[in-house]
Structure 1
């Protein structure tokens, strides 16, 4: 059963992503690292025992990968358009220890599992051939951390906790049905809205704040 693993702010530049989190949550998000296979870089913020927030962007100093990057990051115009429209919390990721099984049951949705790494960490991540988000981001990206499990426990605990995760969609019942169909645990709450948009309410030392 896939379980909510992390939320992703997909940013035109890492500096813009960091600034957005700072403005939204009133703190700086710690550095994560670089993804050699994807030519990207991230910062990470713990939101629970096995849950975190990621800011991810293209790493301008990295060698470009020989394939499309994940999270749709090669579509720079699309990333910028989403950013400027306020769709900055753009994606989410679910983990499962049966990645191959889930992919086999839902062919064509999530892509092909690939080996990824950041520093000493290594995991498998399902990636579409075009690098796009599954169903435009409505569905989660899928991954398997392997025996080591989520790295959230090793991240600094700054006292933040996710209290609500919501997705706006023109057909919220369809979104909820999709989450049930893939067996997603801790799925976002589906509500009506004119466009796909994620919102997270996060308890912080300075009170509950909203990230979108």
Structure 2
């Protein structure tokens, strides 16, 4: 089974993404780090035990990775927005065997003391226009959420909207059962996160 691990806000620049999220949620994000294998960098926000949010962007100081970046960041344009959700598992290979084609190929990754395996699509694009989760398996006991300061923010819901909503439900069935996640039918792919903050409920989309 999969467990909701974190949300990804993509941005053309990390500074723009951080500013947008901090303005919307009225909280400060914490330092993240760099991902040399992908040429990206991020900032983080704790959303509770075992759950966090990352703002991620291409790192202009990093050399190109020589392959498509995760979360389809090579094609990203426009204002910062919620583009992906990431689910963790104990057995990445077993989860991939049950996931749709194109979910990704396992990669061994690291940042500081954190170690993880993650399925990264060969073309950078996850199934269902990015609404199927990226799959991650953390190695050891270290997890980013445990290293982040408490901000009083909590995820209240994650809404996935897609023209092929029933097919997405079927793809997720048996892999994850989380009352926070809802799949709806709509004319175009969209994702919304409802977040309770010290200033009230806010929506990131």
- TM superposition score category, shorter chain reference: over 0.9
Report how far residue 173 of structure 1 moved.
2.6
For structure 2, the residue ranges without an aligned partner over 5 or more in a row are none
Question: What is the match of residue 185 of structure 1?
Answer: 177
C-alpha contact 2:114 2:143 (8 A) present in aligned 1: no
- The structure 1 residue matched to 2:110, chosen from 107, 110, 117, is 117
Structure 1 counterpart of 2:47? 47
Match of 2:126 in 1: 133
Assess, with a 3 A threshold, how the Cα gap between structure 1 residues 132 and 39 changes in structure 2: closer, same or farther: same
Q: 1:200 aligns with which of 189, 193, 202?
A: 193
Deviations 1:160-194 (A, max 9, x none): 1001111112233332222115x123262012222
Moved over 6 A (4+): none
Instruction: Spell out the pairing of 1:68-147 with structure 2 (5 A cutoff).
Output: 68-75=68-75, 79-80=76-77, 83-84=78-79, 88-106=81-99, 108-147=101-140
Q: Matches of 1:112 and 1:148 in 2, distance apart?
A: 23
> How far did 1:107 drift?
6.2
Corresponding residue pairs, total: 204
For the 8 Å contact 2:100–2:127, the answer to whether it is kept is: no
Question: Does the CA contact (< 8 Å) of 2:9 and 2:84 recur in 1?
Answer: yes
Unaligned runs of 5+ in 1: none
Of 14-23 and 50-59, the range deviating more from structure 2? 14-23
**Comparing both structures, which one devotes a greater share of its residues to helix?**
1
> 2: distance between equivalents of 1:134 and 1:172?
12
Instruction: Tell me if the contact between 1:97 and 1:146 (Cα under 8 Å) persists in the aligned partners.
Output: no
Query: What is the root-mean-square deviation of aligned Cα atoms in Å?
Result: 1.7
Deviation for aligned residue 1:149: 5.0
- Structure 2: how far apart are the matches of 1:54 and 1:210? 15
Residue range with higher mean Cα deviation, 169-178 or 7-16: 169-178
How far does residue 33 in structure 1 lie from its aligned partner after superposition?
0.5
| Offset, 1:57 | 0.3
The answer to whether the 8 A contact 1:170-1:192 is kept is yes
